[in-house]
Structure 1
Amino acid sequence: MPVPHDEGLVSRSLLRDNAYWAIRDAIVNGTLAPGERLNDGDLVKWLGVSRTPVREALMRLEQAGLVQTKPGRYTIVSPLDVRAIRAAQAVTGAMHELAIREALPNLCDGELAAMRAANARFADALHRNDVDAALAADDDFHDVPATASANDALRAVLEQYTPVLRRVERLRFASLSGRGSVAQHDRIIERCEAGDIEGAVAAVRVNWQTLLPLLETLTP
């Protein structure tokens, strides 16, 4: 669908990060569809910022694989590329395994409680078929160990590649196949509570590999 007509979505006092997040989220949630042309003028009007943060945001989005640019000709929302999504899945899954490995020895009761609360919100969102809320709760769940790992490099990698996967995960969480993630999250929490690092890492691996069958359906 075209760029939304709402003007001034992002305050003029906010810069490139806000423009990046707004365009990224519109791509991930499908507001900006695969293959859609992105015009600087339309984005400037929608976001209420100058061309500079919009262009910087588009450069970051190109690095993340969410847009494609041919200088002087066009910028489009990247089509779903199964090879790129597989690569992002492998890297993202490995980073979440590393996050659990590094965070688990220091996870406190409050952080485990935050994971349980996020999973409860996740289950409720799936029950209500609220895909946006499910994705947000899933982010909250996995963000706990990622933050507790205190590994800035790990978080930077996740920031770059997670949005690529979220475009596909919207399909999974909109179907019954996404319901299995609730039990997988419970298993991760259970192994963390037991202090079982290898068991927790294995549970995280299972959780992130559930995306692979969906990728098979996208392969021509």
Structure 2
Amino acid sequence: MARSLPRDDAYRAIRDAIVDGTLAPGERLNDADLARWLGVSRTPVREALTRLDEAGLVRTKPGRYTIVSPLDVRAVRAAQSVTSAMHELAVREALPNLSATELDAMRAANARFAAALRADDVDAAIAADDEFHGVAVTACANTAVRSVLDQFTPQLRRLERLRFSSLSGRGSVAQHDRIIALCAAGDVEGAVAATRANWQTLTPLLEGE
């Protein structure tokens, strides 16, 4: 199996720390400190920060500072629109060939998602939600969809932590069940519409910002 590169490991570690709040909005980031924390050289850290800047998770003023980006409602709205469209496309392209095994994987992920919400385990809820939607993303075998989602999904993660920390996140379990039922029935348009509705549940949080 191919080993991941240090820059990719650094990117994921810093990204996850931003998403889960370990690195707070507005916090200054020092590449030497991050390199010591991650146990890598400064080069992969700098490469990771450049990628995070492109994803909108950090802001960099060359030669001056790098900070964790504040939650930018306009940027999150844009990321939500793009992410929703990509998941709709994934369902549309995957559904005609979605197997019983893949439908079972969606059901299992949704069961884990529901259990995580009941346990108030936000990290597990987000991971299970990723697994649920990831079934269609993998099944559609569209590398462009995967690439766009990898870039824009992290913008939504901080907002999703708020959603899944509240009772409003519980409604996603039923929405997931509906998506599964429509996929099992071969209803492409219905499944796409249900997927869109699921991603639109973030809208009230954006309006509240």
TM-score norm. by structure 2 comes to: 0.98
Tell me the equivalent position of 1:8: none
Alignment partner of 1:70 is 2:61: yes
Task: Report 1:140-159 matches (<5 A).
Answer: 140-159=131-150
1:41 Cα deviation after fit: 1.1
Tell me the equivalent position of 2:33: 42
Alignment partner of 1:186 is 2:173: no
Task: Report 1:125-144 matches (<5 A).
Answer: 125-144=116-135
Q: Look up the equivalent residue of 1:187 and give its one-letter code.
A: R
Q: Look up the equivalent residue of 1:135 and give its one-letter code.
A: I
2:46 aligns with one of 55, 71, 74: 55
Q: Look up the equivalent residue of 2:57 and give its one-letter code.
A: L
Alignment partner of 1:197 is 2:183: no
Work out the CA distance in 2 between the residues paired with 1:61 and 1:110. Answer: 35
Tell me the equivalent position of 2:158: 167
Tell me the equivalent position of 1:113: 104
Tell me the equivalent position of 1:91: 82
Higher RCO, 1 vs 2 (CA within 8 Å, ≥6 residues apart): 2
Identify unmatched segments of 5+ residues in structure 1. 1-12
Work out the CA distance in 2 between the residues paired with 1:93 and 1:215. Answer: 15
Q: Look up the equivalent residue of 1:36 and give its one-letter code.
A: E
Work out the CA distance in 1 between the residues paired with 2:180 and 2:79. Answer: 24
Work out the CA distance in 1 between the residues paired with 2:103 and 2:24. Answer: 37
Tell me the equivalent position of 1:6: none
- Partner of 2:208, secondary structure, is helix
TM-score norm. by structure 1 comes to: 0.93
Work out the CA distance in 2 between the residues paired with 1:203 and 1:104. Answer: 13
Q: Look up the equivalent residue of 1:167 and give its one-letter code.
A: R
Q: Considering fraction of residues, name the structure with more helix.
A: 2
Q: Look up the equivalent residue of 1:213 and give its one-letter code.
A: P
RMSD of the alignment, in Å? 0.8
Work out the CA distance in 2 between the residues paired with 1:55 and 1:153. Answer: 25
Give 4+ residue runs of structure 1 displaced > 2 Å after superposition. none
1:14 Cα deviation after fit: 4.7
Tell me the equivalent position of 2:19: 28
1:100 Cα deviation after fit: 0.2
Work out the CA distance in 2 between the residues paired with 1:28 and 1:209. Answer: 20
1:15 Cα deviation after fit: 1.0
Tell me the equivalent position of 2:9: 18
Work out the CA distance in 1 between the residues paired with 2:131 and 2:152. Answer: 16
Counting aligned pairs with the same residue, the percent is 78
